[in-house]
Each structure stands twice: as structure tokens, then as C-alpha cells.
Chain A
Amino acid sequence: MISLTIDGRKIKVEKGTSVLEAARAAGIHIPTLCHHESLPPYGACRFCIVEVTQRGRTKLATSCTLPAAETMEVATRTEKVMKIRRILAEMMLARCPHSEPVIKLATEMGVEKSRFSTPRAAQSCLVGEHGECILCGMCVRLCDNVMKVGALAFEGRGGYRTITTPFHEPSDVCRLCGACESICPTGSIRQAKISDRQPQAIPFEFEQGLTSRKPIYLQFPQAVPRVPVIDPDNCMHFKTEGCKICEDNCEAGAIDHAGKDEIREFNVGAIVLATGFDVFDSREIPRYGYGRLPNVVSALEFERLCHASGPTGGKIFTSQGKVPESVGIIHCVGSRDKNHQEYCSRVCCMYSLKFAHLVKEKTGAEVTNFYIDMRSFGKGYEEFYKRVLSEDVNFVRGKVAEVTNVARSPEEEGKLVVVAEDTLLGLVRRIPMDMVILSVGLKPGADTEELNQVFSLARSADGFFAEKHPKLAPVDTASDGIFLAGACQGPKDIPDSVAQGAAASAGALSLIDKGSIVLEPIRAQIEADLCGGCQICVANCPFTAIEYNPEKGISEVHEELCKGCGTCVAGCPTGAAQQENFEDRQIFSEVEGLLS
């Protein structure tokens, strides 16, 4: 530890600490303009000048670059120092008369205006209109030392000093990370002037791409655990080995860029699969205009638009920023459709009614729901439907043929026209709308195939995981110990998912609780001496009850999983696999007896 005196106070600091940092740690204010805790000190602006007395000699020095030394005596507010700072402020003010941080600092010094005139060739070519570069060099230091890219540098001296790219050409190495723009204290530098390539925003998955996110982000507000994650495909550190600003600034030391994915093995006796679902992609129905026409939104996107924590703070706007006056909600998009998913997705009627209610409440717009049947099956659901009916929401019973922007009459100009059959009226109607919401159905998650392989599950015709019995065992699977919960087993809403979750947990608990497992008396067994390790039985078993043991070079039956179907036995080329009470020789005996 080093002891020094600042403004008469004795302060102890670690070796290597600068005088500026020591002062700030002790609560003593020293003004700075070019200093940033993430950047190496530069001493460009000179505002942090202090008087330092060591071994009887007094001199002026910039406290940001001066390392604290034993017995040093520092004075931060002597008359000489203040006079220097005031002249610096005047010079800065002359160079950048409109810059906010400069004006703020000058005011702090008591300087209102400058006696100097603004130099002519002052501005950097990288500065945008109305910008004022104060030559603090923070962008240069950041790009070079921290981001390890080095696209910018100082050029020239004195009045002609400026910040620029090599040869004033658009940079080849600029990574479009925008760090320079974010650190510039005057907000002057423009990334667009550094590189002529366009930065690509990272679409925020949770917000359905309506907003963008940074490489480090919180996946969604209710994430468990509620910690940010780093997207290694976009994080600058993985591109340049620089940055790590987040890791350096994390007070908890919780970030480790060197961390690697770990594969951990757990021995478990029961598994609950609750892997969820995906939403139907409306681009599969091009005539609804999703992805082509503005203001055609899918249900999940609209959910974000009307949510208080979403990109618009819950206010409903069209893409032109106006409040819609007419909104159409199309039910059964991708569901109950032999061209896409034949099943009913269960939740869409209710969320469509919810949207209708919210749109009406928030905007007072004319709302029309286009439906086939109204499926309001749950507790309070029918009552909610009645309520929405009473709120003057229109309901048109019929499939929507298309959503088009080709107007056939003056009222349709500039609007989205929903063309639908109204079966109750017996007409085909064209209804102009400002916004169309597509109530998309639920479909099995993208990882279903992979999970299927890993857990050896069956799938029902709709592609969701198959339960053991549709009525009597909705959360069990054919494999003992593997349970299903939630939408991975079939489309369902929240109350049903919760109920299934509880049921699956109970199933798992009952296995754990029993303390013993009842074995199938007619299970298969493999005679180790006869087994050649061909693994035909492993592939044959519908219950993944047989596992190949690479150390022994043979396959072994997990007797607690074997259901006694005998399929492995029939496939075994050596006769090593036999089924209790249904052995090959027993069946041969039966055949002999039958034909004797």
C-alpha cells in the first residue's frame, strides 16, 4: 500500500493506482474530459492537472497519468491549477462552442465565454453534422486498446489535429460495433463515416424481431435464472479478442469469456419432458401477405406490440406510426387446415378474443374477428366471449381467402383488404383494415425430431409426442420413467400445462417414492456368453431397454425398462437373447405339439 497526501488528507492506495483514481476514491473531485475507467489514461485534455510536491520540488502534472507514490503531496485546487483549468476551458469552448460536456465543464470552472476565436480547420472528417470533436481520443483508445481493431487514429498536430481513418478512406477493418459512437462524450463521431458498410442489427428473438438487441442481453424478463447471456456469434470479443468491457466492469466477477460449454452427465431415474412448441410460420400462407405487406402481424408479434414491456410500451401503432382505426383478426392460421396442420391449436380462439378486447379498449378501433368456430371451452371462457360480443366487436364466420393491398374502390385505397366468405350472410366480403393480426397455431418444436431420437419416443399423427394413452395416461410415455408435460404433448393453454406439469411430477415422484420397481415377469434376458455385440437388439427395442456395454463388448437388458415384447429375441442372430416364458425352445415345443 502507498501513503500519499491529497489536499491535506492522508490516503492509502494500492500500488499502481493513479493520483486521479486515488482522489476519486477519497471523494475528492478532479474534473476530467478525456478520462474513462475502461480506457488507459491519455492526458489529452489536461483538465485533471494538479500540483505535485515530491522531495521538496513542486511541479504540475496530469493526475490521470501520474502514479501515486509514497510521501507524495498533491494539491488539486491551488490558484495556479484553477487558473490553468480556466484557460483550458476557454480554449475548449473556443474549439467546441456547442458541445454539452465542454459547456458543463466550463460552467463548473466559472467560464461563460471564451476570448479565443474558433479555429477554421478544426473538425474531424468523421464527425457528423452539428458534431464537435474535442480530441479527447476516447474513440481511438477504445477502438485500439480495448476493441483491438484500431480503425481510427489521430492525425496531424496543433490546430490541424484530427481523428480519421488511414488515408481518409472508409475503413477496411472497422467492425461496425458502434463502440466509438457510444463512448464519444460529445456524441459527435459517426460510424457511418468510418465505414461504408451497413451495420446489421441483431433481431431480438423474444420481441419477435421488432427490436434489436446487443450481443449481451437478458433473454426475456421472466428468464430463470435471471442473468444475461452472451451471444458468441455477435460478441466482439470472439471476433477480435478485445472488448470484454462487460467482464471488466462486472463487480461480481460473474462473466468469463473463456468459459466453455460443458457436457455434464446425470444419473436419473425419471425424466419430465417439457420442451414446448413452435408457432406456425405464416409465410407458408403467402396469400395472407405476412412478411410482404406492412401491418400484417402474427399473434406473437402483436402480443409484444400490445404488451406494456414491449417495444411500444403497449401502445398499438401501425408501421406508419398511426393508431389503427380498423383491425382484423384472422383465426385458424395454419390450423384446422389440411394443407398445413389438421388439428385445432386450442389456444388461438381465446387469445384472438383477448386481442379483440385489448384493441377495442386501447384504440376504440373497429375490430372484426374472422373465425370458423368459436372454441371457448374453459372456465370463464364462454363468459369472456359473451363479453367481447357485447363490446361491439364484429364476428364474421368464414375462412379468409386473402389479404391484399390492391384496392378496388376508394375506401380500399392504402388499406389492407381482407377478403372472406361470410357464411352466415351467404356473401363474399371485402373489408378494408389498417392492421391484420394472424392467429397462428401451435406446432411441434423444431427440436422434436432430435428429442425423439434421444429419448426414443413415439409421436402421434400430429407430430407431437405420443402419450401412453390418450385418456388414461396423458402424461406417461411408453417408456417407463419418461413423462410429458405441456405443449410438447399437444397444443394446450396455461391451466392445462400447469396441471400436466403437476401430474408429470407426481408420476416421477411416485417412482422415487415407491422404493422398488415391479419387474415384468416375461422380460428379455441376454446370455453374455452367446452375445456377439452386434447390437441388433438395441436397435430393435421400442423402449430403449437394451444398452450396449462397450467394455464388455456385449449388449445388456435394463430389466426395469423391459416390457416383454420379445422383439429383440426374434432379431438375435445367435440366440443369446431369450424371453422368459416365451423362449425359442418353448415355442418350438408348442409348434411340435400342435402338429403332432
Chain B
Amino acid sequence: MADENFEPKIVGFLCQWCSYTGADLAGTSRIQYPSTLRTVRVMCSGRVDPTFVVKALAEGADGVLIAGCHPGDCHYNEGNYRAMRRYPMLLQLLDQFGIERDRVRLEWVSASEGEKFAQVVEEMTEKLKELGPLNWKERSADYCGVA
């Protein structure tokens, strides 16, 4: 669905210590990247409940980014490993909903990786432009057979 004016909405759940700070660095470094991302700060990527992702998609997001510290560097030791474990289950859930897996991404961004953060948002935006808007309400209406 190639609507040239389509600007995807991405909700990003960023962990306070690494990825949020990394995003901050992208800002202070004046790196240009699409303004499609809206952030929710959590203390740790392990805080991200898969229901947050579903909520975001249901509320109108076209894609969700979960970003945390690199494995081994989690500020809380193991929180990001929990996020890593929940992610495949989340993807299976998306399959069941018929939502494209590419819409939800798990990335590791450290506090010094401003460039990487910008790049991730860039890539995700491009991908979502290709995939088009999620249209949750229409899709769920199709499933339920409700007009």
C-alpha cells in the first residue's frame, strides 16, 4: 500500500540507562532522523510487558520498538535477558493476530550509540512505509466479522 504521504507512528519503549540515553545522545548530537518515534521511558527493557506492545498497536501505532542495553551490560544484570525471552513469544502472538513481524523490533542500543539509534529508527520507518499503516480497527473487525 504505497501512500506517499504515509508517516508511520512508532512507539518506542526505551530503557532508562542505555537506550533512552542513547536516543538522547542522538538528539544532542543533532543527528537527523525521522520524527516517527514516540518514546515511553521504562527503567529496564525487562519492564516491557508484551501487553504494552499490543496496547500500542491497538491504540494506533504502526510499529513498536523495544530497546535495551546490550546483553551482559544490563544495568539490572539480567533484565534485558528477560526481554529477549519474551520477544519470541510476542512474535508468535503477532502471527496469531496476523500482524507482520517486522512491525515489532527488539534492539540493543547502548548509551553511546546515538548513531545506531538514529539508524534503527530510520530503517524501521522505511520498513513501515513499505508495509503501510497497520489499520488495527479494520483488521480486527475483519477477524470478528463485525462491520
Interface residues of A in 344-365 (CB under 8 A from B): none
Interface residues of B in 46-62 (CB under 8 A from A): 46-52, 55-56, 59-61
A595, B46: Cβ atoms under 8 Å? no
Q: In angstroms, how far is the closest chain B Cβ from the Cβ of A458?
A: 5
Residues of chain B lying within 8 A (CB to CB) of residue A594: 11, 38, 40
Interface residues of A in 542-596 (CB under 8 A from B): 542-543, 563-567, 569-571, 579, 582, 584, 587-588, 590-592, 594-596
A567, B11: Cβ atoms under 8 Å? no
Residues of chain A lying within 8 A (CB to CB) of residue B82: 540, 567, 570-571
Q: How far is the CA of A584 from the CA of B50 in the complex (A)?
A: 11
Q: How far is the CA of A592 from the CA of B58 in the complex (A)?
A: 10
B43 CB-CB contact with A under 8 Å: yes
Q: Which of B47, B48, B60, B79 contacts A595 (CB 8 A)?
A: B60
Q: How far is the CA of A592 from the CA of B60 in the complex (A)?
A: 9
A591, B40: Cβ atoms under 8 Å? yes
B55, A588: Cβ atoms under 8 Å? yes
Q: How far is the CA of A564 from the CA of B79 in the complex (A)?
A: 11
B76 CB-CB contact with A under 8 Å: yes
Q: In angstroms, how far is the closest chain B Cβ from the Cβ of A468?
A: 10
Residues of chain B lying within 8 A (CB to CB) of residue A588: 52, 55
Total count of chain A residues near the partner, CB < 8 A: 25
Q: How far is the CA of A335 from the CA of B3 in the complex (A)?
A: 61
Q: How far is the CA of A439 from the CA of B25 in the complex (A)?
A: 48
Residues of chain B lying within 8 A (CB to CB) of residue A522: 43
A478 CB-CB contact with B under 8 Å: yes
B9 CB-CB contact with A under 8 Å: yes
B46, A570: Cβ atoms under 8 Å? yes
Q: How far is the CA of A582 from the CA of B75 in the complex (A)?
A: 17
Q: Name the residue among A458, A542, A543, A596 with the largest chain B CB count within 10 angstroms.
A: A542
With A567-B76, A595-B11 as contacts: A587 and B42 at CB distance below 8 Å? yes
B111 CB-CB contact with A under 8 Å: no
A540, B46: Cβ atoms under 8 Å? yes
Interface range on chain B (Cβ under 8 Å from partner): 20 to 34
With A569-B49, A570-B82, A591-B11 as contacts: A582 and B42 at CB distance below 8 Å? yes
B52, A542: Cβ atoms under 8 Å? no
Q: What's the count of A-B pairs with C-beta under 8 Å?
A: 80
B7 CB-CB contact with A under 8 Å: no
Q: Which of A563, A570, A584, A591 contacts B76 (CB 8 A)?
A: A563
Q: Which of A458, A565, A587, A592 contacts B46 (CB 8 A)?
A: A565
Q: In angstroms, how far is the closest chain A Cβ from the Cβ of B16?
A: 10
Bitwise interface map of B from 95 to 125 toward A, beta carbon under 8 Å scored 1, else 0: 0000000000000000000000000000000
Bitwise interface map of B from 56 to 89 toward A, beta carbon under 8 Å scored 1, else 0: 1001110000000000001111110010001000
Q: How far is the CA of A525 from the CA of B62 in the complex (A)?
A: 33
Nearest chain A residue, comparing its CB with the CB of B72: A461
Q: How far is the CA of A464 from the CA of B77 in the complex (A)?
A: 15
B38, A587: Cβ atoms under 8 Å? no
Q: How far is the CA of A564 from the CA of B44 in the complex (A)?
A: 9
Q: How far is the CA of A566 from the CA of B40 in the complex (A)?
A: 14
Q: How far is the CA of A65 from the CA of B144 in the complex (A)?
A: 104
Residues of chain A lying within 8 A (CB to CB) of residue B9: 595
Q: How far is the CA of A596 from the CA of B59 in the complex (A)?
A: 8
B77, A579: Cβ atoms under 8 Å? no
Bitwise interface map of A from 1 to 27 toward B, beta carbon under 8 Å scored 1, else 0: 000000000000000000000000000
Q: Apart from A542-B74, A542-B77, what 18 extra A-B contacts exist at CB < 8 Å?
A: A542-B79, A543-B77, A563-B76, A565-B43, A565-B44, A566-B43, A567-B79, A567-B82, A570-B48, A570-B49, A570-B86, A582-B42, A587-B42, A590-B40, A591-B11, A594-B38, A595-B9, A595-B11
A-B contact pairs, 6 of them (CB 8 A): A565-B46, A566-B42, A569-B49, A570-B86, A591-B11, A594-B40
Top 8 nearest A-B pairs by Cβ distance? Answer: A566-B47, A567-B46, A565-B76, A565-B44, A594-B38, A542-B78, A542-B77, A570-B49
